[in-house]
Structures are given as C-alpha cells and as structure tokens.
Structure 1
Amino acid sequence: MPAELESGTKERGYIVDWVSQEEVLAHKSVGGFLTHCGWNSTLESIVSGLPMICWPNLGDQQIVSRTVCQKWKIGLQLNVNCNRSNIESMIRTLMGPKKEEIQSSMDAISKLARDSVAKGGSSHNNLEQLIEYIRNLRHHN
C-alpha cells in the first residue's frame, strides 16, 4: 500500500487486511453502500437495510442495478464514467432529498428478505424441502 494513502487516511479511516462485509454493512454508522451490484453484495445490503449507490460494471450487474434502482427503488444509479464529484453528489442525494423515500422502500424489501430466510419463510422452507429430497434419494438407491 502506498505510504501516502496510509498517511492520508490515518486521521479519518482505518485500513485492515480483511473485514466481514456483512459486519461492516450492519454497523450503525454506515448509511449507504456504494456497490458494483454483484448479487451477493446486493442481498447483503438488502438484509442490512442499507440503500445502495449502484455502479455496475460487468455481467448481470447492470440488470441487478436496474432492478435495485428502477423497480425496487432502493438505490441510485451511477453512470459508468463517473468521477469524485458525481459520487459525492449521489451520496448527498442518498443521505438528503431521497433518503426517506428510498429507506421506506428498503425497509419493506429488507423485511421480506429477512422473513424469507427465517424459520417458516419461503427460502427456509425450500431449502428444507431440498434437503429432504436429497435424503430420500440416498435411501432409494
């Protein structure tokens, strides 16, 4: 790591080798998530209830970003060719004028996601059914 990066962030940040993204997203001081919109990161953000600033790059990230921003309305879309000023503007928008609208949508979708993986939820039940199906296959062979 360049020494100037380390010294330039020493007073306002903390550099570590690795940290759990889920733990960072769940921290009360985090108010949003700048993401490339990979599906796992998107789900982690939803479960944490964090609005997203979407900066997709490859593959399905464009589709996920459109879904997050246009259909679910839980994020804001960055242009591919953005700069520091664009990112700052999006953060200010996410934390300011659009905050209540986006957070309201996020709260509803986050609850659906958490409910689906809880005991008795659709995702939990589907996984239980798959496990039972595999167990039955083993007993029939």
Structure 2
Amino acid sequence: MGWLDTQRPKSVLYVSFGSVAVMTRDQFTEFWHGLVDSGKPFLWAIRPNLIVDDNGPNITTLDELKAATPMRGLIVGWAPQEDVLAHDAVGGFLTHSGWNSTLESMTAGKPMICWPAIADQQVNSRCVSHMWKVGLDMKDICERSTVEKMVRHLMESGREELLRSTEEIARLARESVREGGSSHRNLEKLIEDIKVGTFL
C-alpha cells in the first residue's frame, strides 16, 4: 500500500486474475509487454501458480519480471484487493471478471478491463462491458497490442465516460446496503424468514 501512496490519483492500473484462473507463459509475457508498453503505472498481484506451461507451474518468471518492472510498476505475490481498489491512486482494474472481483470493483467505483477464462466470467465480462458499461471486454484475446490499447482507453480516452458509469453504480451499491436500502431489506427479510421457518 505504501507504493500506491506515492502515485497520482487514479493513475494506477491494478491487475489480478483471481485465485483459480491460470495462463500460459506466452500469455503472461503478452500481458506484461502490453502493460509496460501502455506507459501507465500498474500494480500486479501474481500468485505463484498463475503461470503454467507444458512442464507444469512456472514461478521463475515472477523474479525475472520483478527485476525488469520497477520503473513501470510493482509486482507483488499478493495484495489486499478491497483495500487496493478503494485506494485513490487506483484508476482501473484488469481482472478475470470473477463475480467477487466484479462486485468489489463496481462497489469501489473502478472501471474494469475483463479477460474472462472460465465459468461465469464470460457472462460477467459481457455485463460489465455491454449492460452496465463499467468496463471493457477483452474476450479471450491475449496480445500485447490489444492489452496496451485497452489500458490506454481505460486510463485515457474512455476514462471520463467509464468513470461516470462506475461512480453511479458505486453510489447505487452504497445505497442498497444502507439501512432501508434494497439489499438491507432483503437481508432482514431472509433473517425473518429463517426465524419463522417460512423459507422451507
């Protein structure tokens, strides 16, 4: 978090692909080059088993890239995601678009670049980009030029429009969990149903 404190507001792209999604070494290299080529500072949380190839997990790349990245960003093994997304320095999130990450990003008011891999991630990514308009959908494309283009769009040319949408979604999310909000009422109703046994 100390590194984020030294960055300008909304200037950093946070990158994390969750706890299950994996990528090949080539995909990883394309993402890294795209991030570096974008010229935008980034914080990338890379768990040890993210990168796999024909020989199984490959964790040596983390040390290699840590050495090559200091002028452009920061690579860490883990980051407190909700705290990172809430930080003023973070202006966007490159994600696998898992449901928890999607909700955390929307609640924090941060636009997303989605690279979905499995399960519900394709649907989540489509909702983020086409329904809620709070991010961009990379689909399954993993080329450095595409990564660079999308990062620049998120952090520069499309920033204002995406921020308007994400800030509105974040406002609605906060209202829903306040006392009297829709989520608050639904939780109270669930608790009441459990107490009286009407949920059976």
TM-score by length of 1: 0.87
> 2:168 maps to what in 1?
108
Structure with the bigger RCO (C-alpha within 8 Å, sep 6+) is 2
Does structure 1 residue 57 correspond to structure 2 residue 138? no
Q: 1:118 aligns with which of 149, 157, 178?
A: 178
Which residue does the alignment assign to 1:97?
157
Structure 2 gap ranges (5+): 1-58
State the Cα distance separating 1:6 from its structure 2 match.
Answer: 3.2
Q: Look up the equivalent residue of 2:145 and give its one-letter code.
A: S
Q: 3-state SS of the aligned residue for 2:136?
A: strand
Deviation of 1:8 (Å): 2.5
- In structure 1, which of residues 65, 75, 80 is the aligned counterpart of residue 135 of structure 2? 75
Q: Identity of counterpart residues, as a percentage?
A: 52
For 2:110 and 2:146, locate their aligned partners in 1 and report how far apart those are by CA, in whole Å: 20
CA distance in 1, matches of 2:114, 2:106: 13
Q: What CA distance in whole angstroms lies between the structure 2 residues aligned with 1:5 and 1:105? A: 34
Amino acid at match of 2:123: I
What stretches of structure 1 of length at least 5 have no aligned partner?
none
Greater helix share, structure number: 1
Q: Could you tell me how far 1:18 is from its partner in structure 2?
A: 3.2
State the SS of the aligned residue for 2:90: coil
> CA–CA distance in 2 between the matches of 1:4 and 1:98?
32
Distance 1:39 1:98 in 2: 23
Q: Which residue of 2 aligns with 1:87?
A: 147
In the alignment, the residues of structure 1 paired with residue 168 and residue 187 of structure 2 have an alpha-carbon distance, to the nearest angstrom, of 23
Going by fraction, where is strand more abundant, 1 or 2? Answer: 2
Aligned length: 137
